[in-house]
Amino acid sequence: MRLWGDDVEVDARIRDFTVGDDRILDHDLIPYDCRASIAHANMLGKVGILTSGEVRKVVAALKALLKKWEAGEFGMRPDHEDCHTAIEEYLTGKLGDVGKKIHTGRSRNDQVLVALRLYGLDALESIDDELQALLDVVRRFAGRHSKVAMPGYTHTRKAMPSSVGMWAGAIADALEDDRVLLATARNLLDQNPLGSGAGYGIPLPLDREMTTRELGFAKVQDNPIYCQHSRGKLEAVVLHALVHVLYDLNRAASDLVLFSMPEFGFFTLPEELCTGSSIMPQKKNPDVLELLRGRFHELLSLEQRLLSIGANLVHGYHRDMQLTKEPFMRGIAVAYDCLYVARSVFEKLEVDRERCKAAMSSELYATEEAYKLVAQGVPFRDAYLQVKKSLKKRGS
Amino acid sequence: MRLWGDDVEVDARIRDFTVGDDRILDHDLIPYDCRASIAHANMLGKVGILTSGEVRKVVAALKALLKKWEAGEFGMRPDHEDCHTAIEEYLTGKLGDVGKKIHTGRSRNDQVLVALRLYGLDALESIDDELQALLDVVRRFAGRHSKVAMPGYTHTRKAMPSSVGMWAGAIADALEDDRVLLATARNLLDQNPLGSGAGYGIPLPLDREMTTRELGFAKVQDNPIYCQHSRGKLEAVVLHALVHVLYDLNRAASDLVLFSMPEFGFFTLPEELCTGSSIMPQKKNPDVLELLRGRFHELLSLEQRLLSIGANLVHGYHRDMQLTKEPFMRGIAVAYDCLYVARSVFEKLEVDRERCKAAMSSELYATEEAYKLVAQGVPFRDAYLQVKKSLKKRGS
Amino acid sequence: MRLWGDDVEVDARIRDFTVGDDRILDHDLIPYDCRASIAHANMLGKVGILTSGEVRKVVAALKALLKKWEAGEFGMRPDHEDCHTAIEEYLTGKLGDVGKKIHTGRSRNDQVLVALRLYGLDALESIDDELQALLDVVRRFAGRHSKVAMPGYTHTRKAMPSSVGMWAGAIADALEDDRVLLATARNLLDQNPLGSGAGYGIPLPLDREMTTRELGFAKVQDNPIYCQHSRGKLEAVVLHALVHVLYDLNRAASDLVLFSMPEFGFFTLPEELCTGSSIMPQKKNPDVLELLRGRFHELLSLEQRLLSIGANLVHGYHRDMQLTKEPFMRGIAVAYDCLYVARSVFEKLEVDRERCKAAMSSELYATEEAYKLVAQGVPFRDAYLQVKKSLKKRGS
Amino acid sequence: MRLWGDDVEVDARIRDFTVGDDRILDHDLIPYDCRASIAHANMLGKVGILTSGEVRKVVAALKALLKKWEAGEFGMRPDHEDCHTAIEEYLTGKLGDVGKKIHTGRSRNDQVLVALRLYGLDALESIDDELQALLDVVRRFAGRHSKVAMPGYTHTRKAMPSSVGMWAGAIADALEDDRVLLATARNLLDQNPLGSGAGYGIPLPLDREMTTRELGFAKVQDNPIYCQHSRGKLEAVVLHALVHVLYDLNRAASDLVLFSMPEFGFFTLPEELCTGSSIMPQKKNPDVLELLRGRFHELLSLEQRLLSIGANLVHGYHRDMQLTKEPFMRGIAVAYDCLYVARSVFEKLEVDRERCKAAMSSELYATEEAYKLVAQGVPFRDAYLQVKKSLKKRGS
């Protein structure tokens, strides 16, 4: 048997190759393209390229399209290259000559850029909301367990006394620092590329400040070559922030997988976050945590891909840059889900105080023993050696 | 507006998180799971765990299911975790108690492993066919243009005389070496993990040689822990071979993008592999080549992800390993398409002999000039300096 | 012949394996460790663990050591594991029991962390200085050539009119955004981990605010588990910023390599940034630009390595984290050099106005032609098609 | 304090930037360059470009140089760009005009290629020897402990009975498969690029078969463009094989770190592979295993870098390719050390049979219980559910 599509006709295969995943990805970009197109139309009206009647028609048609999209009634056909074509075609179909005017003063290049940027800003807000919700839950968890002693490990070996609260607090502090990375990503995204055309500006007297205001951007991204250059680049800044969030969740999940082993038993995982085995009746597996752990690696590879695509190329748009859309949108979706899942974990996670307590064995206090000698005037390095020797004698 | 799915109910979101893309990916695995399940049932019959009547029923039901799948009538429901669950449920629905017996002597772990391996072997065969077809076309192209002189560049600067035939021949030789990598990947995949259970064997007297023969594997993959360990690892070997194929296509596409610029004009790209611009009426853009170039970076990042997922983990299956499925299947699909597209390129590519000839300017022959002096007895390093000096005098 | 060191004795090989490159890398950390050790000693004095006489001795010895280091007279011996051991041993050698007290209240873990962080902050300052110097040069270059027209390319095809000034301005704007990333990295690094011990705090009444002030950190990094968790993580934030700087330089270098080809001739590279060939007398190769381009890939892989090392591990220090030191210090050194080199490039780069002007061919103005029709009332999409048709007729 | 080298003079900084690490790396290439230069000289003699007297002198001088190198008396000066320049200069110094003739019929490009390839082949042989030595030790370890039962884990949870022998056998089988990858890398490296010149052949009647025989290559690498294209590419094939070796060691080390925790105690690590802590007197840390684990990530990032450097570039040598030398040589050195260290680990590793036995708790046998019911005629899925229910009742 062959799954290898030998029956697909040739031209269609090449068309599909150029379209890639855009037909799926672009579905989520439609509302952002509509918003940007409305701002563009209003601006064209203001500078006298469209009449106010034309603007009204275009804006009304875009708002109608948006309603359809929300109702699940607007999608792309297989022969649509991307959502931008589909939208322009819709407008031309509805409005005739007026629809053909909407692309005045812009290029697909800045059209895609601005839609992705609005999408990214919206996504970052949602992600920061979700991250704050997670932080709340983790901080509350840390508070509830601030007094629960638990061994601190270095080199995966018992080291010194720690606490469940200190552990959860570390995760919260890490995520707090990640919020700084998210804010930086937001700041850099917050510049309006609309009006940069294909990457060399538009020889028409556009009002870029106006679309910037209407779309809520902090400023115009002035240099048109930089607008294009920043495609992929700023997406990588966003994914970098998300990579860090998922790195922290990866490490937290790693702890939970280990310390919920019956051999340790410090944590009890809620049944709903575990699964059984198809063959072993006794199993309760921490699948959700393992997937949380694993997703980090997806994000890391997506970030790396984003900058690798454009490297070694001269400036100016290349179709290669289209391939930055999928890692960007995918990375955002994955991170968003992971944050939700992590919150569920911390909401339902239980601590077994008895097992934690039982694990507080004497070697965890060896450093304290040395400090007691220090307090009696023994230099630290000598105190250290003395305790080490006495531990050896006692056995261990 | 928010796209962030706040209306999806909680449990469903976590379920979706654990299922990931399996619902889509697994569609292509169904025939391979059926094949493996048939071999497993036959073997269970032989060793006396199923009666011959039971085997007949199970095999017939699996063949019927396969027919349905081919007709597009068998798919997964949203509540199916993966195709393996869907298939077992189908059998139990059709056959009652007999269906419940099919999972005797295997685990989901080896079931998935064997299906992916059969899929991979099939894919590698298709890819090698496609690669050979491409090689044929490239070799014929090289033959047709073996006498067409063209400047050879180093450091993106004219260096010495080359030819279109030598250029295409280099691509063919590179792809020929990639076939060695593909063959190695094939060899390593060609071991049967079915019967390794969850990763620690099955305490039943199974006949692993029998399923190995029936499924056409070269040998049993004996050690059950290694069977699981090789998940992700062998997929990475496959992707590595594909990364090399796409690396060669990336470099070839880079040449074609540059040397089909009107400024060079050595190559003429067929219209059907180019697109226009949404704003610039004059443009004929090499989109297909740019996407060919860009896809390499996707493969490179997928390969890296595959081994990164499992690193730092102890042996034994982890749910993280499920996340190796998507990069593996995706990488194969992308590479397969790229090979097809590259073949179209070389089938339709035209060489502009006039422009090539016109580019054969004198500095390309500077090394030959030096060798003429060498033939007269001048030591090479002195000849080199003499020519260099004379070139400077002449201008350039 | 074998280079494979079979004559190295066994124990030494394992010792070398654990030391890795630390003996070389740590050389640059010595001044930072001394600074931190002085602050630590002062603090131990204040909280009564050292007497003021002991503090004086330790501080004096550390300052003397620093002098020796500056004079190139302090280094590590082969049997020193790292610079921290070497320094403690020096103190013990000089001061006897007093030297043995310096490690009271700290662990190697926080000692390394704080030294690396001070190193990183210093490095970021130097890098930002160098980046500003580069920005100055690029902005001045852009100003000098703001009126020099040059073709703008998309898909490596002539697209619309651009200018040398716009091109250089894009690079400057990109680097300006990178300064935001550097500032973020700086902010996150600017927290004091000294006092966090091995990762679980120190059971002594240390004054962490005091060392924070003395070392000039913005704040205490409070949670000791997070201090350790941030090892590798914050280094990755720094490298991420540098990756972006090098990405911009990679793209700029790519432009310069292409457009300084005699076939284009827009730019003339200074002789001192080019090299010849060992065999071709005529060559003038843009080696410096090519290395600038290539170094980006080193940084990208170093960044990816930093987070990959720690992923899938439980919290708490692991010796694996030692391997984050080399990519961090190496990445900084490489980026610093690249900035210097890029500045030399822009200082010496010449623009060939004649060649630029000659390249401003008519197809670059096709969009403007369409806009002329738009001004006459033709809808843009129709104007576009009209110009396209007329261009086809004219030949091209 | 600044470490940032502001006192280095300008030209020197740019020179150092172009030389990079070559001055250090090239030290190890000298013997290979000498071997290749001797073969080249002999061939030039045979085809009549050098007289037999000249050949004798050149060969004698190269052999003398080699002796000096072995005695540590030949190295590069700061003003030598690389070892190839140093060697040619030495010959010219010793032999005058005859030395100036050695570079006839070759370019630095093929000279570097052939030296690196000979180096790589030698390295692969040493690595395979080391790998076989490791395999021997692991197989003997597996044999000694084939009967020692140990829990098998999935999802880091007790799953089914396993054994120490099965565990070690899995590592051996994985490494055995890696030998296939190493052999493939060897095969691909085993082609002679000498005579391909700068990448477009040499306009002289060279005898490439002769140098191929003399240097022991399996065949001529015929196409000169492919010779250059394979720079970086074949190095990546080598590193890929090494990445797999280190992946297996990473997983083995991960097991040993976990299961040598006192909480498990299945393995006892030899004192000489552990270290203590600077602050905690009781610690015995598995540093060597952790570094073994961590080095995998270095290799993975080096492999990725190798292909990333050349991607998106047109064919023909670029100076960027020089940057493939360091990851190649570094990756080999790191992998070689890791193999040695892993062998030490398995030579000295002890198994605690008592702790292993004590860990064989009843839930490991749940699948066997189900199979007992299957033997009584209960369909597997029902047997599974029955055991699951009874386990829940019993507690756990």
Q: What is the pLDDT of residues C346-362, one digit of tens each?
A: 999 999 999 999 999 99
Residues D254 and D348 in one domain: yes
Task: Check whether D202 has a pLDDT greater than 50.
Answer: yes
Alpha-carbon gap, residue A103 to A373, rounded angstroms: 80
Q: What pLDDT, in 10s, does the model give residues B74-112?
A: 888 777 888 888 998 999 999 998 888 988 999 999 999
Query: What is the number of other CB atoms lying within 10 angstroms of the CB of residue D184?
Result: 24
Q: Cβ(A116)–Cβ(A22) under 8 Å?
A: no
User: Where does C204-363 have alpha helices with state H?
Assistant: 208-215, 224-259, 287-310, 325-348, 353-358
Question: Helix crossing, C164-189 with C224-259: angle to 10°?
Answer: 170
Is the residue at D265 inside a domain?
yes
Q: Cβ(D134)–Cβ(D346) under 8 Å?
A: yes
Q: Cβ(B299)–Cβ(B331) under 8 Å?
A: yes
How would residue C68 be classed by pLDDT, with cut points 50, 70 and 90? very high
Q: What is the pLDDT of residue A2?
A: 40
The number of distinct structural domains making up chain C is 3
Residue A267: enclosing H or E segment and its boundaries? strand A267-268
Contacts of B363 (CB under 8 A, 6+ apart): B158, B391, B396, C282
Task: Check whether B2 has a pLDDT greater than 50.
Answer: no
How would residue C7 be classed by pLDDT, with cut points 50, 70 and 90? low
Q: A305 and B320 in contact by Cβ < 8 A? A: no
How would residue C285 be classed by pLDDT, with cut points 50, 70 and 90? very high
Q: What is the pLDDT of residue A8?
A: 54
Q: A159 and D311 in contact by Cβ < 8 A? A: no
Residues A379 and A315 in one domain: no
Residues A83 and A147 in one domain: no
Given a cut of 70, the residues of chain A with pLDDT beneath it are: 1-10, 395-396
Beta bridge partners, D116, equal none
Q: Cβ(B336)–Cβ(B127) under 8 Å?
A: yes
User: Where does chain A have alpha helices with state H?
Assistant: 10-19, 22-25, 30-46, 52-70, 83-95, 97-100, 108-144, 164-189, 208-215, 224-259, 287-310, 325-348, 353-358, 366-375, 380-394
Q: Cβ(D118)–Cβ(D34) under 8 Å?
A: no
Cβ-Cβ pairs closer than 8 A, A with C, add up to 260
Residue type, A179: R
User: Where does D190-284 have alpha helices with state H?
Assistant: 208-215, 224-259
Domain boundary among the residues A104, A138, A170 is at: A104
> What's the CA angle centered on D74, arms D73 and D76, to 5 degrees?
135
Residues D290 and D310 in one domain: yes
Q: Residue D332 is encoded by which pair of tokens?
A: 């080999």
Alpha-carbon gap, residue D226 to B370, rounded angstroms: 25
Alpha-carbon gap, residue B170 to B252, rounded angstroms: 10
Is the residue at C25 inside a domain?
yes
Q: Cβ(B17)–Cβ(A288) under 8 Å?
A: yes
Taking CA atoms, B235 is separated from A261, B239, B306, C304, D240, in Å, by 29, 6, 7, 21, 13
Task: Check whether C280 has a pLDDT greater than 90.
Answer: no
In chain B, what are the helix, strand and coil shares in percent, each to the nearest 5? 70, 5, 25
Residues A222 and A288 in one domain: yes
Q: What is the pLDDT of residue A296?
A: 98
- Closest CA relative to residue A198, chosen from B289, C266, C158: C158
Query: What is the number of other CB atoms lying within 10 angstroms of the CB of residue D9?
Result: 8
Q: C391 and B159 in contact by Cβ < 8 A? A: no
Higher pLDDT, D272 or B197: B197
Which residue reads 């309006």 in tokens? A192
Q: Residue B129 is encoded by which pair of tokens?
A: 């066919």
Q: Residue D346 is encoded by which pair of tokens?
A: 């398995």
Residue type, C157: R
- Chain C residues with CB-CB distance to D107 below 8 A: 277-280
Chain A nearest-CA residue for C307: A247
Task: Check whether C55 has a pLDDT greater than 70.
Answer: yes
**Phi, psi values for residue C280, rounded to 5°:** -105, 110
Alpha-carbon gap, residue D314 to B20, rounded angstroms: 39
Distance from CA of C362 to the nearest CA of B (A): 10
Instruction: Note down the domain range covering D116.
Output: 109-358
Whether A254 is catalytic: no
Q: Cβ(C316)–Cβ(A252) under 8 Å?
A: no
Domain boundary among the residues B104, B125, B153 is at: B104
| Chains within contact range of chain B (3+ C-beta pairs < 8 Å) | A, C, D
Q: Cβ(C49)–Cβ(C105) under 8 Å?
A: yes
Q: What is the pLDDT of residue D395?
A: 60
Taking CA atoms, A389 is separated from A151, A383, A385, A392, D240, in Å, by 22, 10, 6, 5, 46
Q: Residue C259 is encoded by which pair of tokens?
A: 């457009």
Q: Cβ(C312)–Cβ(C301) under 8 Å?
A: no
- Chain C residues with CB-CB distance to B158 below 8 A: 262
Residue type, C340: Y
Residues D263 and D142 in one domain: yes
Chain-centre distance for alpha carbon B299: 8
Q: What pLDDT, in 10s, does the model give residues B129-163?
A: 999 999 999 999 999 999 999 999 999 999 999 99
Domain boundary among the residues B78, B104, B130 is at: B104
Residues A379 and A239 in one domain: no
The string of DSSP letters for C33-69 reads HHHHHHHHHHHHHHTTSS-HHHHHHHHHHHHHHHHHH
Q: What is the pLDDT of residue C328?
A: 98
What average pLDDT does this structure show over C247-254?
A: 98
- Closest CA relative to residue C112, chosen from C88, C128, C77, C93: C88
Q: How many residues does chain C have?
A: 396
Residues B218 and B353 in one domain: yes
Q: What's the ipTM?
A: 0.95
* Range name among B157-166, B173-182, C280-289 with the lowest pLDDT average: C280-289
Task: Check whether D368 has a pLDDT greater than 60.
Answer: yes
Alpha-carbon gap, residue C46 to C48, rounded angstroms: 5
Q: What pLDDT, in 10s, does the model give residues A135-159?
A: 999 999 999 999 999 999 999 999 9
Whether A84 is catalytic: no
CATH number at residue D62: 1.10.275.10
CATH number at residue A326: 1.20.200.10
Which residue is catalytic, options C277, C301, C362, C390?
C277
Residues C33 and C162 in one domain: no
Is the residue at C7 inside a domain?
no
Q: Cβ(B301)–Cβ(C304) under 8 Å?
A: no
Share of chain D above pLDDT 70, in %: 97
Q: What is the pLDDT of residue B314?
A: 98
Residue type, C247: Y
Count Cβ neighbours within 10 Å for each residue of A16-27 and write b for 16 or more, e otherwise. Answer: ebbbbebbebbe
- Closest CA relative to residue D154, chosen from A340, B227, C112: B227
Contacts of C338 (CB under 8 A, 6+ apart): C245, C246, C249, C292, C295, D17
Distance from CA of A305 to the nearest CA of B (A): 6
Task: Check whether D330 has a pLDDT greater than 70.
Answer: yes
Is the residue at D288 inside a domain?
yes
Task: Check whether D245 has a pLDDT greater than 60.
Answer: yes
Mean per-residue pLDDT over chain D, rounded? 93
Q: What is the pLDDT of residue D392?
A: 81
How would residue B1 be classed by pLDDT, with cut points 50, 70 and 90? very low
Residues A80 and A157 in one domain: no
What average pLDDT does this structure show over C363-377?
A: 91
Question: Helix crossing, B108-144 with B224-259: angle to 10°?
Answer: 30
Chain-centre distance for alpha carbon B188: 15
- Closest CA relative to residue B366, chosen from B389, B337, B340, B341: B389
Is the residue at B6 inside a domain?
no
Is the residue at C2 inside a domain?
no
Which of helix, strand or coil describes residue A72?
Answer: coil
Alpha-carbon gap, residue A288 to A275, rounded angstroms: 8
Q: C283 and B159 in contact by Cβ < 8 A? A: yes
Task: Check whether C1 has a pLDDT greater than 50.
Answer: no
Alpha-carbon gap, residue A83 to A66, rounded angstroms: 12
Q: What is the pLDDT of residue A136?
A: 98
Q: What is the pLDDT of residue B80?
A: 81
Q: Cβ(D50)–Cβ(D101) under 8 Å?
A: yes
Which residue reads 């150029």 in tokens? A18
Distance from CA of D367 to the nearest CA of C (A): 29
Is the residue at C234 inside a domain?
yes
Q: Cβ(D220)–Cβ(D191) under 8 Å?
A: yes
Chain-centre distance for alpha carbon A270: 26
Q: CA Rg, chain A, in Å?
A: 28
Q: What is the pLDDT of residue C2?
A: 41
Higher pLDDT, D252 or C278: D252
Please list the active-site residues of B: 155, 277
Which residue is catalytic, options A52, A146, A277, A308?
A277
User: Where does A311-379 have alpha helices with state H?
Assistant: 325-348, 353-358, 366-375
Alpha-carbon gap, residue D88 to B374, rounded angstroms: 17
Q: Cβ(D226)–Cβ(D129) under 8 Å?
A: no
> What's the CA angle centered on D117, arms D113 and D121, to 5 degrees?
180
Q: Residue B391 is encoded by which pair of tokens?
A: 């070139």
Share of chain C above pLDDT 90, in %: 77
How would residue C8 be classed by pLDDT, with cut points 50, 70 and 90? low
Q: What is the pLDDT of residue C108?
A: 93
Distance from CA of A251 to the nearest CA of D (A): 15
Q: What is the pLDDT of residue C395?
A: 60
Q: What is the pLDDT of residue B171?
A: 98
Is the residue at B2 inside a domain?
no
Residues C70 and C218 in one domain: no
Q: What is the pLDDT of residue D7?
A: 52
User: Terminus-to-terminus CA distance in chain D, angstroms?
Assistant: 62
Cβ-Cβ pairs closer than 8 A, B with C, add up to 104
Which pairing describes strands A219-220 and A191-192: parallel, antiparallel, or unpaired? parallel
- Chain B residues with CB-CB distance to A278 below 8 A: 84, 103, 107-109, 111
Residues D191 and D293 in one domain: yes
User: Where does chain D have alpha helices with state H?
Assistant: 10-19, 22-25, 30-46, 52-70, 83-95, 97-101, 108-144, 164-189, 208-215, 224-259, 287-310, 325-348, 353-358, 366-375, 380-394
> What's the CA angle centered on D123, arms B230 and C321, to 5 degrees?
60
Q: D370 and A154 in contact by Cβ < 8 A? A: no
